[in-house]
Amino acid sequence: MAIRILIDRLLLERGMSVGEFAEAVGITPANVAVLKNGRARAVRFSTLDSICRVLDCQPGDILVWDDEEQ
């Protein structure tokens, strides 16, 4: 898939662990791993909203389209 989710960089910049992030967003650490590893097939807008609130960022800071992956 050509859409990548850049959570790792933002977690590192904010000094958050995956567990802290998962709890704050309201998803399981396993689902965070699915997002981080590019295996997610969909993301609910409510989850994206929570991610943006927790990381204090915009959706464009998280989602990147990469034509090279096709």
10-residue stretch averages of pLDDT, the chain, 70 residues long: 88 96 97 92 95 96 82
pLDDT score, position 66: 85
Hey, what are 18's tokens? 């995956």
Residue-level pLDDT at 53 = 97
| pLDDT for position 38 | 86
Q: pTM value?
A: 0.87
Closest CA to 43 of 27, 67, 19, 20: 27
- In whole angstroms, give the CA distance from residue 41 to residue 69: 15
What are the beta bridge partners of residue 4? 64
Record: fold of 3-57 = 434 Repressor (Amino-terminal Domain) (1.10.260)
Joined tokens for residue 34: 């699915």
